[in-house]
Amino acid sequence: MTIPPTNILYVSKLSPSTNGDDLKASFARYGHITQAHTHHKRGWITFTTIQNATDAYAGHSRILDGKVIQIQYHNTLALRSAGTRSTSSTATAQKRKDNRQAKKKAKKEAKKAAQAPAPQTFGGKVKEWLKDLWL
């Protein structure tokens, strides 16, 4: 599935010293930038048009402040974090949920069984009766 580009680029693996002004300076040659900011070695660059972002995505050297960076369209990251899972990870999550429910049920049943009164037996009375009989 191909996701269409947007006017926002997500940049990761930045140098800790890189800031929004550095991003703006590095990407400015591809078009007008309305916003550029960084947070914990990640950055977002908002261009005025999708074409400018596409040009920056295709043309940037992928090196900034001496580090090799990764660039992707912002919507690819948003879709991934929005809860779209592959069927295998969904199945795994369902198995985990089923296992938790089964363990919870078994624990509840064990607790219930421990609280139940012991079944009535006549073993003790029979022993006493036999003692009395043989003595």
**93 pLDDT above the threshold of 80:** no
Question: What residue segments make up the domains of the chain, in order of their start?
Answer: 8-81
Cβ 45 vs Cβ 5: under 8 Å: no
pLDDT of residue 10: 92
Structure letter (DSSP) for residue 29 = G
Which of 18-32, 72-86, 96-110, 115-129 has the highest average model confidence (pLDDT)?
Answer: 18-32
Tell me the β-bridge partners of 70. 12
pLDDT of residue 26: 93
**1 pLDDT above the threshold of 50:** no
Q: Which CATH class is domain 8-81?
A: alpha beta
**Dist. CA 66–CA 2, nearest whole Å:** 31
pLDDT single digits (tens) 33-89:
999 999 989 999 999 999 999 999 998 888 998 899 999 988 755 555 555 554 556
pLDDT of residue 106: 86
Look over the chain and give the mean of its residue pLDDT values, rounded to a whole number.
80
